[in-house]
Structure 1
Amino acid sequence: MTYVIRPVKAAEWQRLRELRLAALADPIARVAFNETLEEAAGRPDEIWQRRAAGSEQGAAPLTFIGEAASGRWGGMVVVLVEEDEEVPQTHVVGVYVRPEHRGTGLARELFEAAIGWSWDLADPVMERVRLWVHEENPRAEALYRSLGFVATGRTMADPKDVAALEREMALSRGGDRKDAP
């Protein structure tokens, strides 16, 4: 299956909302997302409109979607810019691929777009791309490793379940795959 990978357009805010709600309704959401379906469903339209408009303008947070030939959105990834960290970096969040699109390569294509966008930023130049992966999500962790992400050694408690851990993974600029600071 082939996809067009692109940022969301401002006029597509309702489709963005629908995809996010589908992601949060998915059974894997309990380990993949910190927001609940109820929280997202309760957000006013203006928030979804602002998110979509910012993506169309190329501003972070930027949402990339994978659009199938049918026009259906198969998945998404969101990229944030974090300038206040030790090094300038982007942070990948909101990764979701609909069940019927899993195993097609869409997740890899979405990540390649997010990583490429990160490396193309000029002011400031990003030094790394990071993300957090739940310890109970080995499929996602395997994908991230295949893309060159490595564990940094940093962990945090899952905000929804303090007995569970999330691990930070990072990809350094230039293919340097040493553990990030």
Structure 2
Amino acid sequence: MPGPTAPFRILAVILVLALPAMASDRPGYSFASIDGGTLSLADWEGRPVLVVNTASRCAFTKQYDGLQALYDRYRDRGLIVLAVPSGDFRQELSSDRKVKEFCELNYDLDLPMTTITPVRGEGAHVFYRWLAEAHGFVPSWNFNKVLLGPDGAVVATYGSATRPLSKTVTGEVEKLLPQG
């Protein structure tokens, strides 16, 4: 007959088995790349990633300049800036090809970019569904930003009005990067 500590031993075993899964919040999600192939968050393990839902016909579209500048400033220290074009707010161009051309011609972007991807509702990409379910974050407009730490944990979320080169963003990014 089990003693009074048996339920505690069972709980301890469950916790020990669950610890590896709880140790990292890193989502292993992949996106289709606008350049072909895939972009996997797992490939950037150990690096901070700023994920931004974007649109080509938005009042905030000029933030592409800031996103590229942020990427240029910190990429050698490990930062990834991932642009996720989305038509959820009806301000994106009609095709991936048009988005890519628009961004190259107007902003000379070379940061990683996904294909046009839903970020809200039932049809949202699994990464954005995870953000909503696990962290209560749903983009309220274009150019909402999510900063993931090197372990994949959500460090901060920012609304559209927060500029990529603001002290708010750069201060958090700098905390996550190797010093040097």
TM-score, with length taken from structure 2:
0.27
If you compute each CA radius of gyration, which structure gives the higher value, 1 or 2?
2
| Larger relative contact order (CA 8 Å, sep ≥ 6) | 2
